Structure 1
Amino acid sequence: MTIYPIETGNFKLDGGAMFGVVPKSIWSKTNPADSNNMIDLAARCLLIEDGDKLILVDTGLGNKQSEKFFSYYYRWGNHSLDNALSAFGFHRDDITDVFMTHLHFDHCGGSIQWNTDKTGYEPAFKNARFWTNKNHWEWATNPNAREKASFLKENLIPMQESGQLHFVERGSASFMERSELGFGILFADGHTEKQMLPYINYKGKTIVFVADLVPTVGHIPVPYVMGYDTRPLLTLDEKAKFLNTVAENDFLLFFEHDAHNQLCTLKQTEKGVRLNELFSFNEIFDPQ
């Protein structure tokens, strides 16, 4: 098995929304805001090469939305999914499986693209199976008013219509056996219904792709919960248990949304679980 960090592009969101009730005077120490109160974020994905499988975890924002839509998210930098794949010798047609932690647009927007003449949409990975879970799919396709702007029909329905959509069953090993993906899944319900966090044993380490449970290094303290979470009190409980497990077992956190940090370890302190060490991916693993 070989894994690769895939930088699909950077964007910005409102710092207050990203940190909920935490005051700006505190969160700005780790995540400084610009003049519009926006903070830097990444849409960093993970590519897993395992035998004849090439698995992409999340796909970023994509590029099919309107200029007006993207103007709200202040995209910056030069990263793109295709360039990131190419840098490691791959093409999107090589992808066999797309595993989506959840279906908010910044996690699955790159899964669907315009067709050639822009009259409709098609899967951006024509040879891949798209993996979510049934509970989350039903949640996303019948969205509540709070999340409706994050679950975009053009990102979802084409997956189903293509016949490439598959469901993971919670608490079942059948997904790993059937798809031969070979990693575990932690389900979390605080941010959205049945978010899935993959964890991978790799070169003697356990890497957890933390998606929106711990968006950035600045979100490590348990009370630092996003205003976007649908069940913030549940996030507190899920996050506390998760962080303790990570610290006790020396797991690595792989950040999807931290624009400046890829990996970290945690430690127990008198104030609770806190950051231990930061790493770039290549400091620990050489993907070449």
Structure 2
Amino acid sequence: MTLYPVETGNFKLDGGAMFGVVPKTIWSRTNPADSNNLIDIAARSLLIEDGNRLILIDAGLGNKQSDKFFSYYNRWGDFTLDGSLKKFGFHRDDITDVFLTHLHFDHCGGCIQWNKDRTGYQPAFKNVKFWTNQNHWKWATEPNAREKASFLKENLFPMKESGQLHFIGNTDKNFIEQSELGFGIHFVDGHTDKQMLPQLKYKEKTIVFVADLIPTVGHIPLPYVMGYDTRPLLTLEEKNIFLNKAVKEKYYLLFEHDAHNQLCTLKQTERGVRLDQTYSFNELFN
């Protein structure tokens, strides 16, 4: 098995929304904001090459939304999904599976694109199985008012209509099971219902793709919870369990949304679990 970090594109989000009740004077130390209070955000995917399978974890924002839509997110930098795949010698048609941590637009928007005459939508990966879980699919396709703007119909229903949508079995939150894709899954519910965090063993290290449970290095302290989370007190509980387990079992956290840090380790301190060391993928595995 070989892993590749795939940078699909960077954007910006409001720092206050990203850190909830934490004051800007504190969160700006790790995540400095621009003049509009926006902080740098990545849309980092993970590519898993395992025998005949090429599995992509999340697919970024995509490019089918309107200029007005993207103007809210201030995309920056030169990264694209296709460019990052090409760097490693792959094409999107090589992908066999797209595993979706959850179905917010910045995680699954790249799964669907316009058709040739722009009259409708089609899968952006012609040979894949799209993987979510049934509980989260129901949550996303029958959205609450708080999350409705993040669950876009044009991202979701074309997956089902294509016949390429598949469901992974559910389990209790924080329990790790062997999924049909052959790796462990942490189910967490604070950010959105039944978000899935994949866990893999790679080169004698345990890696967890932490998605929106811990978006950036700056979100490691326990109360640093996003304003976007639907159940922030549950996120606190889930983070507490996860962070302590991560220290005990020496996890390497792989960040989806940290534009400046790809991976880190953690340590236990008098103030709770804190950052230990950060790493780039290349320095850790090459």
Give me the TM-score of the superposition, normalised by structure 1.
0.97
Opposite residue 185 of structure 1, the aligned amino acid is: I
Q: Deviations over 1:193-222 (max 9, x none)?
A: 000000000110000000000000000000
Aligned residue in 2 for 1:228: 228
The correspondence of residues 1-288 of structure 1 with structure 2, limited to 5 A, is: 1-171=1-171, 175-176=179-180, 181-286=181-286
SS at match of 1:230: coil
Q: Deviations over 1:95-146 (max 9, x none)?
A: 0000000000000000000011111000011100000000000000010000
d(CA) in 1 for partners of 2:121, 2:215: 29
d(CA) in 2 for partners of 1:103, 1:239: 20
d(CA) in 1 for partners of 2:21, 2:275: 21
1:170 Cα deviation after fit: 1.2
d(CA) in 1 for partners of 2:146, 2:47: 31
Q: Deviations over 1:247-266 (max 9, x none)?
A: 11111000000000000000
d(CA) in 2 for partners of 1:46, 1:30: 24
d(CA) in 2 for partners of 1:252, 1:58: 19
SS at match of 1:246: helix
Opposite residue 231 of structure 1, the aligned amino acid is: R
**Unmatched runs of 5 consecutive residues or more in structure 1:** none
SS at match of 1:267: strand
SS at match of 1:55: strand
d(CA) in 2 for partners of 1:244, 1:283: 25
Opposite residue 4 of structure 1, the aligned amino acid is: Y
Q: Deviations over 1:46-102 (max 9, x none)?
A: 000000000000000000000000000000000000000000000000000000000
d(CA) in 2 for partners of 1:227, 1:45: 23
Opposite residue 133 of structure 1, the aligned amino acid is: N
Opposite residue 235 of structure 2, the aligned amino acid is: T
Q: Is the 8 A contact 2:197 2:208 kept in 1?
A: yes
1:175 Cα deviation after fit: 3.8
Opposite residue 134 of structure 1, the aligned amino acid is: Q
Opposite residue 234 of structure 1, the aligned amino acid is: L
Opposite residue 146 of structure 1, the aligned amino acid is: R
d(CA) in 2 for partners of 1:267, 1:174: 27
Give me the TM-score of the superposition, normalised by structure 2.
0.97
1:173 Cα deviation after fit: 5.7
Moved >6 Å (runs of 4+): none
1:174 Cα deviation after fit: 7.3
Opposite residue 150 of structure 2, the aligned amino acid is: S
d(CA) in 1 for partners of 2:13, 2:224: 16
SS at match of 2:117: coil
